[in-house]
Structures are given as structure tokens and as C-alpha cells.
A and B are shown apart, each in its own frame.
Chain A
């Protein structure tokens, strides 16, 4: 018998807001000391009341618009009651009865073409704290930095049927949310987590299978492995009767590559949902939706097509640039300033991404001014500074985004000053002093030219146009300068 896998994903994305959802504490606690960003409100102390962060609402609406959802005109918050030490108020404020966005859809590319994954709803909610168990054998510690950090939960319909599709769906969501600046969606930093619901059924059947859920998976690799393992376990259980499938919540152990039963699946009744009276129903008017719609950026596909048609970029370059909205903005500004789309794209992709990778940063964390990059590209392309100096200036711009490249070049005096005569003199000296390198070059070793090139640069203190120097060296060697 052949089975098909039915997968539904619940994706939690931490919203890119400065403060928490219901208080003024900083929402950025990655790398902070435990309990550094807390107040009586997010610690659930008696007497404090939640005050809704307006930016969270805007992010929720933007996420809904990016996923083609209907936006609720009145949205409310509800209490999800459960007892756990990482939840100081004894209930989580979430949206059960009237979520901010419903009935959307996301398109993904699969091996058999484009597929639509329906979105059931997007709702806003607060995150819980974190328990730390490995400090002591006797105690567990609670870190409330993450408590009340704003999240959206994107609940898909069970339209996903393989690990590949799940990956494509997650990548697509990441791109959409990053483009709208709704979330950084950085799984490694915990700003995106995923609950995976898996069941299997006979191919072609509509009857639902027994669904199991695996919570808080935080890498695409884990999600893929968890789906593949769980689908295989279900198939084995049904085909061979190896175990009885239960509707339950399971824990995924990435090291062992297996899932383990945690508890029976909770139902809405277990949580005693009811409307929260401390937050008034929020009315969303057309004007707000329209304003936020106008603020949305051009969609990644449209941008990619425009880069290829208007700027003549290759598909590869256009794809790399449209991985992140920050990269796009940097490139577009750089192109405006230097007037050369290809050069701006090369510098953005090769140099900027190289530095980001070296600093373990993502494209969305890019803070440098695209105009500054454009200035560097123009200086290099015009032969006013060397490429090496351009790279160094770009590195410096990562540390100081306000840095003006032209001003720094003037201050440092690193502009290329050597004229053709000086370059030729330096080349002649280098050739005369490095007989072996000359012989090697003339004997066919192209790399030997770099030794001569380096010697010249040393003599000119890097103050020359590298292309001009190379041409001069090659010309002199061709004329038999060694003699």
C-alpha cells in the first residue's frame, strides 16, 4: 500500500520590534544576561496591566498582507490558561477567537511546479520565558528575558506533503517576513521556530490519519529529519502494526534522530481559552491597512525580474541580491550613487556578503549605507583608490555606518597618486631585482607575475591603479625588459 504524508506547520516568528508586546522592556535579549530585560508587567507581578504595543499590530497586519490573508477589522486577545514555571502570569495572551489575519496562501516552487499552501490564520501572541536546567542538579532556573516578546504564529493548512515542500514553504515565509521587516526569521537565534504536525494516509484517500505534533524545532535540517522520521514511523506502525499510533505531542531528539512521546495532544478545552478583559478589542480601519500596504516593499520576484530586465544582471546575481531586503536596498542605493549596476551588484554580492559571513551576520542585519558602498565602487572603478583600499573602507563602514569613504580617503591620503612614469619606474626596478620571478614568468609560470606585482605595489606603497600596473609589467616583460 502506498501512503502520502500530510503535514501542517505552525511557524512562530519573533517580531522585529524594539520593545515587548505588552510592556516597554527591550525585546532583544539574545546574548543578554538572564533576567536583564524584565519588569513587573512581563514577570506577571500583581497589579500590572498589559498595554498593547502598536508596532506589533502593524507587524501582524503586514505579515497577513504578505501572505495574502484577510485582515480582521476587529481583533481581540484571549487568555490561554496553563500552569508552567516559564509562564509567570499563569496564562499566555494570544488570539484564539479573533486572530488578526485569516485565509491566506503562499506559493512555493516544487519539482512538479508551483504549489499553493493555504494559511489558516496568523495570530499575535506573547512568548513564554525559558527554563535553564543545566546549571544545577537540584534546581531549575527561570529566565524571563523572553517573556512577552512578541510573536506571530502562522498556521498552515495541511497542504504540505513532503520534507522538501516543508523546506520550500519555510524558506518562502522567511523571505516574505524578512522583506516586510516583520521578523528576522533567524532560526539559529530562535527568532523562528516551528511546530510540525504529521500524519499519513492511504494515497488518494481523504480520511485523516492520526496526527502527531513535534514542538519547537529550530532548524530546517531538524524539521526535515523529524518529518521523514515521523512519516516512516507512522507508515511502519500502520503497515506492520509495530505500535499503536496516538494523537500526541512528541519531542524531537536531534542527536538520536528520533521522536519520543511527551504527552497526549492538548485540546482547546485543556487551555480554558477566554477573552482577556485587560486589552480592549482592537479596531483595524481601512486607512491603517492601506497605509501598511503602501509601506510594503516590492515582492522579491518582482524585484528580481526588474533587476534582470532593467539593470541587465544575471539570474544568479539577481537571486542573491533578493535574498534580503537590506541587501536589495544597499544595492539600489549603491547603484544610484556609482551609476554602474553590474559593479554595484558585484560589490554587494562578493564583498558585502563576504564580510557579513565572516561576522556571522545575515543580510537583514546589514546596517551600512548603500550610498557609502556606491561611493567606494565609484572610487575603485574610477581608479582613484585600489580595490584593496576599497575593501578596507567597506570593512570600516561595517564598524562605523556613518563613515564617508571620500572623506576618509582624503584624510588618509590613500588615493592613488602614482602616475604612469612612476609605475613604469617601479616596474623596471622590480624586474631588475627579481630575476628568478622574471625567468619563471617567461618560462610559462603565470603566477610569477604576482610576485613582481607585489614588489611593485610595495615600492609604490599601494598607491597605484592595479590594472595600469599589471598592463605595464606585462608590456615590459613582453618587450624583454629583463635584459
Chain B
């Protein structure tokens, strides 16, 4: 009896703290959350302790944070990610960690296989979300892993606009494309996570100022998504189930009064080629400092510093990461800089221009999130994340927001994150 009263009091305290935070920051309505939905959520808050999940690319103070790298498995972070801090301030007092695959760059992190589609049911993110207290998870979206995970697991994922959410306290992979993404059971939960985390941070120089961001987001939300283009050339090479998903999605949009058209755009289709150059070069530079000598994983036996480094680097990075480092170094060599990295930067601009051209006519672009509706065990051995990212790279390289719902990806204009979440709710309704 006494324990129940104590719990009730604790929930009440947290509810008040949440209210205070709302008043202080004036952020209640962001992320498509209305006063009513807040009230509904508050009722559920009273029942349970609120919990958020972050993947291992997010640093939590005084916790071991490895970024999925054996080299960092003893690293205890002295800092906390801004996203985690905002979650805590919003009353999500318990932050749980899930794995992130190989430095967040692999196929689906550790959130893969859809049991219903015949895959492995061992999906930590899905499993974590079966617990009703965890509404959402924040995962680094550097190479599209959370989007592919959501698409193959029946979850919703949002890759916010670059600069909308602070990257402070997250392991850097590809600094010019890294975004804190959100994965949730539904659009509302995703909107809650985005509403909490989409803030300017003085600790991230690429974080957009609140005033400018809010103004643009409001304008995009008011404009809404009424006309969508399906990028036809992305349907070459995807499996039949994915093609069906797109067709069904398109029909659903039409039924919901959203006009659709089909178009091809080769430049956008090829955007993973420059993205892989940028991704590998930036990851290589960001990983240069990661060595167990400094961060705790020094080999016990070594006869020289060289040997210690060699052992530690051989064992400290997964094969895929070594591949990225090697390719990144190759792309930056002086005689290849102009032909590779510099050209990749120019192509990035052209891809962005191509999107801008599309968005003159349409409000969003629809394309698959990955080549398969669900990955099988063998796909993990045979599919390379550097090929499979053909579907995630358009949003990664341009910094545009992308939303995955019902296994289909929609890319919107800069700062159209909330418009995409509203649209996602409509998509859910048409189910």
C-alpha cells in the first residue's frame, strides 16, 4: 500500500517536472504533439516509469559506451549526449542502451530481422519496445541502419534534417551526414522523441538556431504533404515484396487524397557512390583517434609500441570498419583527392539541386528504404551496407529528412520533419 502511494507520488513529481519543463521551453506542441495527446500520455506516465532507449553510439556519462567497437569496450564516457540529457529532462529518467552494430555503419545495427517475414525474431529494438514503458529509441543514422531496421521490422523511423538535433555526445562517423535518428512503434511516439530532442545546442556548431529552425518547420508543416513523387528507378533491383509495398503505399496515399506521380532521377539513384567516398573519408578521420592505448583496450603483451598498436588496431575494429578506413585513406590521397573526394562533394551539391528541382513540383519523394522487405540470415553475409545504402544515401548525403513507415521511405524538404510525421500519422490511419 505504502509502496503504491510512493510510486504515485513519484509519478506525480515527474509529471510536474515535465510540465515545468514545458513551460520553461515552450516545446509542448513540437513534433506534432497536441495538448490532448500530452494529457493521454501523462495518464500513462502515472502508471509507469518512462524509459527511453539509445543505441551505443550515444554517450552516457559514467557508462561504458563502445560504439560497437571492440577497441572501445572499456571506454567509460565522461560526457552525456545532448539527446539523452533532453530525454532525461523530459522525464524519461531511465535510459537504456542497445547495441549499434559496427560503429552504426552496418546493415541494420542490431535491430534487424522481422519475425513475421520469416526472419530472426532476435531484434533488440523490437524486443525492447515490447515493453510498453519504452516508446522510442534514438539511433545514429550515419549510413541508414535505423531506417533499414525499421523498414524490415515494421517500425517507424525518422532521420531528422541535418542540424535539427544536436550531435553532441554521439560518436562521429560521417560528420557531414550523421544525424540522431528515432525509431518507434508508431508515428506519435516518433514525434514525441523528435519533439523532445529537436533543439538548438550551443555545443554543436552545426545545430540550427531554434528561431530559424522553428520558423522553417512551421512553414513546412503548414504547407503539408499533398503531392508526392515515387522515384521509379529505385524499384529496379528490389524484391517483389518491396515493390508491392510501394504499390500499396502509393494506392493508400491516393486513397488519402495525396496525389502521386512517378518519375526517374538517375543522379539521386546513384547518390550512394559519392556518399560512400564522403562516409569513408570522414569515418577514417574520426576513427584515427580511436585506439585502445588511450581508451582502455591496450593489449596486455607487447614488445613495442608499434606491436601494441598493430595488435590493438587489428583486433579493435570490425572488418567492415577497416574496409571503410582503407577506402577513406585511399580517397584522400593527393593524386585522388580531386577525382574522388572533391568530385563527391560536387556530386553532393548536384544531388541536392536535383531534390530542390523535384520539390518545386512535389512535397516529398517516395522510395524504398532497402532492397528487401526483410533480410534473411544469408543477406547479412552477402549484402554490403555500402551497396544497400543506395536507398538511404539520398537523404544522408543531402541532409534532408527521411521517414520510414510501413516499410517505405519518404524524403521531405529541409525541416519538413514535422510535416513528414503528420503525413506518417495519415499513412497509419489509412492502414
Indicate the size class of the contact surface on chain B: 35 or more
- Say whether, besides A269-B337, A274-B285, A51 and B202 are in contact (CB < 8 Å): yes
CB-contacts of A263-322 with B (<8 A): 267-270, 272-280
Q: Which of chain B's residues have a CB closer than 8 A to the CB of A273?
A: 332, 337
Contact, CB under 8 Å: A280 / B205: yes
Distance A221 CA – B9 CA, assembled complex (angstroms): 75
**Which A-chain residue is minimally distant from B168 (CB atoms)?**
A49
Pick the contact of A267: B79, B334, B345 (CB < 8 A).
B334
Distance A114 CA – B288 CA, assembled complex (angstroms): 48
Distance A221 CA – B65 CA, assembled complex (angstroms): 51
Tell me if B236 is interfacial: C-beta within 8 Å of chain A: no
- Say whether, besides A269-B333, A274-B341, A49 and B290 are in contact (CB < 8 Å): no
Q: Which of chain A's residues have a CB closer than 8 A to the CB of B285?
A: 79, 81, 90-91, 272, 274
Selecting from A38-46, A63-71, A403-411, the interface stretch reads: A38-46
Contact, CB under 8 Å: B59 / A47: yes
Pick the contact of A40: B79, B175, B281, B284 (CB < 8 A).
B79
Contact, CB under 8 Å: B77 / A50: no
Tell me if B16 is interfacial: C-beta within 8 Å of chain A: no
0/1 per residue, B260-301, Cβ < 8 Å to A?
Answer: 000000000000000000000110110111100011000000
0/1 per residue, B197-212, Cβ < 8 Å to A?
Answer: 0000011111000000
Contact, CB under 8 Å: A47 / B77: yes
Contact, CB under 8 Å: A274 / B337: yes
Q: Which of chain B's residues have a CB closer than 8 A to the CB of A52?
A: 205
Contact, CB under 8 Å: B205 / A279: yes
Pick the contact of B79: A47, A79, A269, A272 (CB < 8 A).
A47
Distance A354 CA – B171 CA, assembled complex (angstroms): 55
Tell me if B413 is interfacial: C-beta within 8 Å of chain A: no
0/1 per residue, A77-94, Cβ < 8 Å to B?
Answer: 001010100001111000
Q: Which of chain A's residues have a CB closer than 8 A to the CB of B175?
A: 276-278
**Which A-chain residue is minimally distant from B309 (CB atoms)?**
A83
Contact, CB under 8 Å: B345 / A46: no
Q: How many A residues have CB within 8 A of the partner chain?
A: 30
Distance A44 CA – B78 CA, assembled complex (angstroms): 12
Pick the contact of B203: A46, A49, A79, A279 (CB < 8 A).
A49
- Say whether, besides A278-B205, A280-B206, A46 and B329 are in contact (CB < 8 Å): no
Distance A51 CA – B79 CA, assembled complex (angstroms): 16
Count of CB-CB pairs between chains A and B under 8 Å: 95
Q: Please give the distance in Å from B57's CB to the nearest CB on chain A.
A: 9
Q: Which of chain A's residues have a CB closer than 8 A to the CB of B99?
A: none
Distance A204 CA – B334 CA, assembled complex (angstroms): 34
Q: Please give the distance in Å from A367's CB to the nearest CB on chain B.
A: 32
Q: Which of chain B's residues have a CB closer than 8 A to the CB of A50?
A: 205
**Which A-chain residue is minimally distant from B163 (CB atoms)?**
A280
Tell me if B's interface is mostly helix, strand, loop or mixed: loop
Tell me if A48 is interfacial: C-beta within 8 Å of chain B: yes
Highest count of chain B CB atoms <10 Å: which of A91, A268, A272? A272
CB-contacts of A18-52 with B (<8 A): 40, 44-52
Contact, CB under 8 Å: A47 / B171: yes
Distance A48 CA – B170 CA, assembled complex (angstroms): 8
Q: Which of chain B's residues have a CB closer than 8 A to the CB of A280?
A: 205-206
Contact, CB under 8 Å: B206 / A277: yes
Contact, CB under 8 Å: A51 / B205: yes
CB-contacts of B301-341 with A (<8 A): 329, 332-335, 337, 341
Pick the contact of B333: A47, A79, A272, A279 (CB < 8 A).
A272
Tell me if B75 is interfacial: C-beta within 8 Å of chain A: yes
Contact, CB under 8 Å: A269 / B334: yes
Pick the contact of B168: A47, A269, A270 (CB < 8 A).
A47
Highest count of chain A CB atoms <10 Å: which of B67, B287, B334, B345? B334
Tell me if B176 is interfacial: C-beta within 8 Å of chain A: yes
- Say whether, besides A268-B334, A269-B334, A47 and B202 are in contact (CB < 8 Å): no
Q: Which of chain B's residues have a CB closer than 8 A to the CB of A89?
A: 288-289
Contact, CB under 8 Å: B205 / A272: no
0/1 per residue, B343-373, Cβ < 8 Å to A?
Answer: 0010000000000000000000000000000
Distance A49 CA – B79 CA, assembled complex (angstroms): 12
Q: Which of chain B's residues have a CB closer than 8 A to the CB of A278?
A: 172, 175, 205-206
Contact, CB under 8 Å: A48 / B79: yes
CB-contacts of A91-115 with B (<8 A): 91
CB-contacts of A239-268 with B (<8 A): 267-268
**Which A-chain residue is minimally distant from B67 (CB atoms)?**
A46
Q: Which of chain A's residues have a CB closer than 8 A to the CB of B150?
A: none
**Which A-chain residue is minimally distant from B330 (CB atoms)?**
A272
Distance A81 CA – B333 CA, assembled complex (angstroms): 11
Highest count of chain A CB atoms <10 Å: which of B282, B288, B329, B341? B288
Give me 16 A-to-B residue pairs in the complex whose CB atoms sit less than 8 angstroms apart, sorted by A's number.
A45-B77, A45-B79, A46-B72, A47-B79, A48-B168, A48-B203, A49-B168, A51-B204, A90-B285, A91-B285, A270-B334, A274-B281, A274-B282, A276-B175, A277-B282, A278-B172
Task: Apart from A45-B79, A90-B289, A277-B175, list 4 A-B contacts with CB within 8 A.
Answer: A49-B168, A81-B288, A269-B335, A277-B282
